[in-house]
Amino acid sequence: MKFPTNLLKIIIVSFHKIQPKITYILINKVITYLNTKTTSSKRSKISSRLYYFLNRLLGNYKYYSPDTLLVKIISKKMTSLKEIKYFDIGGEEGLYFDLLNKNIRDIQEAYLFELDEINYKILKYKYKSFDNVKVVNTGFSTRNQKVKIYSKFPGSQEYEIHDPDKEFLSPYEQMVSFERLDEYYLKNLHEKKIDYLNINNKEESLEILLSGESVLKNFKIITFTIKQILGDENTNLDKCINLLNSNNFELFKFSELGLLEIDIKNKLKPIKNNFYFKFVAIQR
């Protein structure tokens, strides 16, 4: 079974070298189809087997989670860099920093930004002995403000910002601070290059990127998540892609196959699937 598997892998890679656009479209269609079949019906055994065979074929099955695979891919792109500086917005419990720290031993400075007070205290305690880690209790937005947020419980990764015209059912509330990313950067980093900026899935990526638009040139790699909105799910994604493209970034969709380049010129849409709605921007 090993020989035919490797042969099929060589054929796919070779075809991608010759016809990258056609391969891109085919991969999108195959993954979307298999993912739909796999997630919509537990009885579709053939689709499920083919879906996981594709994972094994391309070497992704051995990783226990998409986060682990993504960090491994990003780490490989930073192997030539020294004294790495890392921003983690929405640090939660330090998942991404821990994964990055396993793959890269030369992280000079890590800034973990966490809005929620409980998670902030967890991070402070967890990394109190790390001289290279700074934990900051703030969020980022297009304007500096202190607002009330609502969540289901202390430490929840999901929250809603106070709206006087809306009734909130979430029982836990707290006052939090937002500031602009560009102002924080200019005040604290003094034109230093940031090798990797990770925006976690509970954060509003578009707001954060817009708040730091004037300093995006100082970031080498950015990973971000776009929340899907029913009826208008691609608006924020298109805005993020246009913003980053205009700031000289290449855009990729992260999938079971690794990084798939978004063909902006030909307007090829990235994969729509339920695997992992994470995107990667790399400075050209």
| Cα distance between residue 257 and residue 275, in whole Å | 11
Helix (H) or strand (E) holding 110: strand 107-113
Q: pLDDT tens for residues 226-260?
A: 766 555 555 788 889 899 999 999 998 887 667 77
Helices 20-40 and 2-18: angle between axes, nearest 10 degrees: 130
| More confident: 63 or 106 | 106
DSSP letter string, 189-236: TTTPPEEEEEE-TTS-HHHHHHHTGGGGGGEEEEEEE----TT-TTHH
Domain 64-135+185-283 has CATH 3.40.50.150: yes
Terminal alpha carbon distance of the chain: 40
| Residue extents of the structural domains in the chain | 1-62, 64-135+185-283
What φ, ψ does residue 78 adopt, rounded to 5°? -115, 10
Tell me the whole-structure pTM to 2 decimals: 0.74
Q: What is the pLDDT of residues 8-64, one digit of tens each?
A: 667 776 776 677 667 666 766 676 666 566 544 444 566 666 666 665 555 444 434
